[in-house]
């Protein structure tokens, strides 16, 4: 049977279990020219929360009654095309389900399991997470050695990679995260120069801590969080700072948007804020993946994974992204 985790209604704010349903249906057959993938690992990402809303975005909303859209890595189960043979490992945009149908001419690509220690790495270091960090920092922010890099959500999958790549690029790295344990990991596991705990702090108090760590301000802000954390960051911009707007996890579940209150310093510091999606860099994914793999092999880059198990745990696993429980790239192992 094919277990499928469906979106049954659009969440209002924080998703609740009743927004979803786990159902079983027969294992599908390949369509003409297409194939069926047995998913092994499913990526759980903040972006999925956005796809659940019926709002304009860079992708259409997940249709109600469809499985929750997810990038997965798996094995071809049955095929009607010579391009994909049963047993091939593939990665693509599928869903939270055991088996996904791939139409002819889709975007799924073959991957080589020999280059990774676990196929889940195609969803982390060599997937959207690692590549989002790579291109967002190196191509959008263009760091120079000696610059100050300030990262929010720094213990998260993207944030921890950004900090380490920034360090490789010669930046002084300051990470913001929630809680003592995450801050310990920023310094000990990911090599941040400074870790700042935002929990329980006003914008003013957080801003003062940032200023103490970077008296001349941040040359680069890599924004994953938004909200009051971003407000505090904006009070600490160096002249001509670059802000990479990569995510806003603090407000994905809130119908009332906080936005950023401190716009004036962006103007006076002549900063530039870049709305950033990774898609434009797709032609260079291979090149970047090779560099990331090399850095990992050299021990200069560590991409942690938070592997949860079982499609029946999709809801609590997904909620780890928003509760602060998650560190590292969250994946759901379903086979």
Biggest CA-to-CA distance, the chain: 62
DSSP lists the bridge partners of residue 20 as 7
Q: CB-based contacts of 148: which residues, under 8 Å, 6+ apart?
A: 171, 172, 174, 214, 216, 217, 218, 219, 220, 238
Cα dihedral value 238, 244, 247, 248, nearest 10: 30
For tokens 């294992």, name the residue.
Answer: 27
Region of 55 on the Ramachandran plot (φ > 0 left; ψ -120 to 50 alpha; else beta): beta
- The verdict on 14 binding a copy of itself (CB under 8 A) reads no
Residue 271 beta carbon to a copy of itself: minimum distance, rounded to whole angstroms: 5
C-beta of 265: minimal distance to a copy of itself in Å? Answer: 8
- Using the rule CB under 8 A, is 136 a contact of a copy of itself? no
* Distance of alpha carbon 44 from alpha carbon 209, whole angstroms: 32
Residue whose entry in the numeric block shows the structure tokens 């001349």:
216
Question: In the complex with a copy of itself, which residue's Cβ is closer, 5 or 51?
Answer: 51
Nearer to a copy of itself, 251 or 304 (CB): 251
Q: Treating both helix axes as pointing N-terminal to C-terminal, what angle do 157-168 and 285-297 enclose, rounded to 10 degrees?
A: 80
Site for a copy of itself in 220-249 (CB under 8 A): 226, 231, 245-248
Q: Is 118 in the site for a copy of itself (CB under 8 A)?
A: no
Closest to a copy of itself by CB, 263 or 335: 263
Q: Which token pair is 59?
A: 């992708």
Whichever of 130 and 247 has its CB closer to a copy of itself, that residue is 247
**Nearest residue (CB) to a copy of itself, 21 versus 264:** 264
Nearest distance from C-beta of residue 50 to a copy of itself, angstroms: 8
Query: Phi-psi category of 145—alpha, beta or left, where left has phi over 0 and alpha has psi -120 to 50?
Result: beta
Asked if 156 interacts with a copy of itself (CB under 8 A), we say no
Nearer to a copy of itself, 257 or 300 (CB): 257
Distance CA 40, CA 120 (A): 8
Task: Give me the least distance between CB of 311 and a copy of itself, in Å please.
Answer: 29
| Number of residues near a copy of itself (by CB under 8 A) | 33
Q: From the CB of 145, what's the least distance to a copy of itself, in Å?
A: 24
Give how far the C-alpha of residue 135 lies from the chain's centroid of Cα atoms, to the nearest Å.
13
The smaller minimum CB distance to a copy of itself, of residues 194 and 278, is found at 278
Task: Say whether 172 sits in a helix, a strand or coil.
Answer: strand
Nearer to a copy of itself, 176 or 203 (CB): 203
Q: Is 307 in the site for a copy of itself (CB under 8 A)?
A: no
Choice between 265 and 324, CB closer to a copy of itself: 265
Q: Where are the alpha helices (DSSP H) in 169-237?
A: 180-188, 203-213, 227-234
Q: Taking CB under 8 A as the rule, does residue 93 contact a copy of itself?
A: no
253 lies in the binding site for a copy of itself (CB under 8 A): no
Distance CA 202, CA 288 (A): 38
* Interacting residues with a copy of itself between 57 and 86 (CB under 8 A): 57-58
Site for a copy of itself in 27-56 (CB under 8 A): 50, 56
Asked whether the beta carbons of 333 and 40 are under 8 A apart, the reply is: yes
The contact pattern for a copy of itself, residues 256-295, with x = CB under 8 A and - = no contact, is: -xxxxxxxxxxxxxxxxxxxxx--x---------------
**What is the binding site for a copy of itself (CB under 8 A)?**
50, 56-58, 226, 231, 245-248, 251, 257-277, 280
């Amino acid at each position: 049977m094919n277990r499928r985790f469906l979106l049954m209604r659009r969440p209002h704010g924080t998703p609740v279990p009743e927004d979803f349903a786990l159902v079983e249906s027969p294992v599908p057959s390949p369509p003409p020219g297409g194939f069926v993938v047995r998913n092994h690992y499913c990526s759980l990402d903040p972006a999925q929360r956005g796809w659940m809303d019926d709002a304009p975005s860079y992708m259409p909303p997940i249709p109600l009654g469809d499985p929750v859209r997810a990038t997965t890595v798996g094995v071809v189960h049955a095929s009607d095309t010579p391009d994909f043979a049963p047993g091939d490992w593939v990665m693509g945009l599928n869903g939270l389900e055991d088996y996904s149908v791939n139409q002819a001419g889709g975007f799924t690509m073959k991957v080589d399991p020999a280059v990774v220690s676990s196929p889940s790495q195609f969803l982390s270091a060599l997937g959207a997470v690692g590549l989002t960090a790579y291109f967002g920092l190196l191509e959008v922010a263009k760091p120079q050695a000696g610059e100050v890099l300030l990262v929010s959500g720094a213990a998260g999958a993207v944030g921890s990679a950004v900090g380490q790549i920034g360090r490789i690029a010669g930046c002084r790295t300051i990470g913001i995260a929630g809680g003592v344990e995450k801050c310990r990991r920023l310094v000990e596991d990911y090599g941040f120069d400074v870790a700042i705990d935002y929990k329980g702090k006003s914008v003013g108090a957080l801003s003062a801590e940032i200023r103490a760590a970077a008296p001349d301000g941040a040359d680069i802000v890599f924004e994953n969080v938004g909200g009051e954390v971003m407000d505090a960051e904006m009070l600490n911009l160096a002249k001509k700072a670059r802000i990479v707007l990569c995510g806003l996890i603090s407000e994905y579940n809130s119908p009332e948007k906080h936005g950023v209150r401190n716009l004036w310093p962006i103007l006076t510091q002549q900063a530039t804020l870049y709305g950033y999606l990774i898609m434009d860099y797709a032609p260079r994914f291979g090149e970047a993946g090779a560099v990331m793999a090399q850095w990992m092999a050299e021990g200069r880059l560590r991409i942690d994974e938070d592997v949860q198990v079982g499609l029946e745990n999709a809801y609590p696993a997904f909620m780890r992204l928003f509760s602060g429980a998650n560190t590292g790239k969250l994946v759901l192992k379903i086979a």
